[in-house]
């Protein structure tokens, strides 16, 4: 299943970047989608330097259906039908529920949940045409349990898992699988933002804040983006053809 076209949203940094690099290393042609050109171009250059193929699709705002349609069409024109779709774009602001105003709620749901819906709707016809298609949504352990002070994020990720399971059943008699990967606290720029908030609110040092997040993982550490990417690579492989509708936790045993 090498030399197939993989389309990755949020591909400029963190987990999305790691996924793009892992899929490219396995021989996929990778479309890198995101809002800003600079980070995407850096990932493209890294893939090309390693002998892979990648294309940049900037201005890809998952909340803008027209922009998504244009980006998907451009990707198909550049690299052929999309065989592997990875939805990784997202954000995770924190606030107590009573201070989670409607604008914050709406923004998080729009990016994290509605964005997945918009991208899957636009890409699914191509994924079907590609044959042996794979749709992999990056959710979170926040989609499997609750965490304080991120109610909008938890709601959005629970929604992603529900959407994943529903579509998996609709497509179960086709050759398209639909799964979610649920990282625990992962060493990415999103964690850096969380550390900023913790240190501001509590006065703890960044090292103390990082250690407090790591303690939620029974292995006593943060997950690496590469570990999440390995799980995505497996789900994209032919050997995972019987795996669909699953929400796979990559969290060191935090969720059992």
Nearest to 163 by CA among 184, 186, 143, 146: 143
Lowest mean pLDDT among 75-89, 161-175, 181-195, 215-229: 181-195
Class of the domain covering 5-250: alpha beta
List, as one string, the DSSP characters of the chain. Answer: --S-EEEEETTTSHHHHHHHHHHHHTT-EEEEE-S-HHHHHHHHHHHHHTT-EEEEE-S--TT-HHHHHHHHHHHHHHH-SEEEEEE-------B-GGG--HHHHHHHHIIIIIHHHHHHHHHHHHHHHHSS-EEEEE--GGGTS--TTBHHHHHHHHHHHHHHHHHHHHTTTTT-EEEEEEE-SBSSHHHHHHHHHHHHHH---HHHHHHHHHTTSTTSSPBPHHHHHHHHHHHHSGGGTT--S-EEEESTTS--
Query: Are 189 and 14 spatial neighbours (Cβ–Cβ below 8 Å)?
Result: yes
Please state the φ and ψ torsions of residue 61, each to the nearest 5 degrees.
-95, 110
Domain boundaries along the sequence of the chain? 5-250
pLDDT value at residue 198: 73
Residues designated catalytic? 153
Evaluate if residue 1 carries a pLDDT over 70.
Answer: no
Residue 2: pLDDT band (50, 70, 90) is low
pLDDT per position as a tens digit, 105-149: 999 999 999 999 999 999 999 999 999 999 999 999 999 999 999
């Amino acid at each position: 299943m090498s030399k197939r076209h993989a389309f990755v949203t949020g591909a400029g940094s963190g987990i999305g970047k790691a996924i793009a690099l892992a899929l490219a290393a396995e021989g996929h042609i990778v479309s890198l989608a995101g809002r800003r050109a600079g980070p995407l171009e850096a990932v493209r250059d890294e893939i090309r330097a390693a002998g892979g193929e990648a294309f940049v699709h900037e201005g890809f705002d998952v909340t803008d259906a027209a922009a998504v349609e244009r980006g998907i069409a451009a990707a198909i024109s550049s690299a052929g039908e999309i065989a592997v779709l990875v939805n990784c774009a997202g954000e995770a602001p924190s606030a107590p529920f009573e201070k989670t105003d409607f604008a914050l709620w709406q923004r998080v749901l729009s990016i994290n949940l509605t964005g997945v819906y918009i991208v899957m709707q636009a890409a699914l016809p191509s994924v079907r045409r590609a044959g042996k298609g794979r749709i992999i949504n990056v959710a979170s352990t926040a989609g499997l349990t609750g965490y304080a002070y991120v109610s909008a994020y938890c709601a959005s990720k629970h929604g992603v898992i529900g959407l994943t399971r529903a579509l998996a059943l609709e497509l179960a008699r086709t050759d398209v699988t639909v799964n979610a990967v649920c990282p625990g606290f992962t060493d990415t720029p999103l964690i850096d933002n969380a550390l900023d908030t913790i240190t501001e609110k509590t006065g703890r040092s960044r090292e103390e804040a990082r250690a407090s997040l790591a303690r939620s993982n029974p292995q006593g550490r943060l997950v690496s983006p590469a570990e999440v990417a390995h799980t995505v690579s497996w789900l994209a492989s032919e050997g995972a053809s019987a795996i669909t509708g699953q929400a796979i936790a990559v969290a060191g045993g935090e969720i059992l």
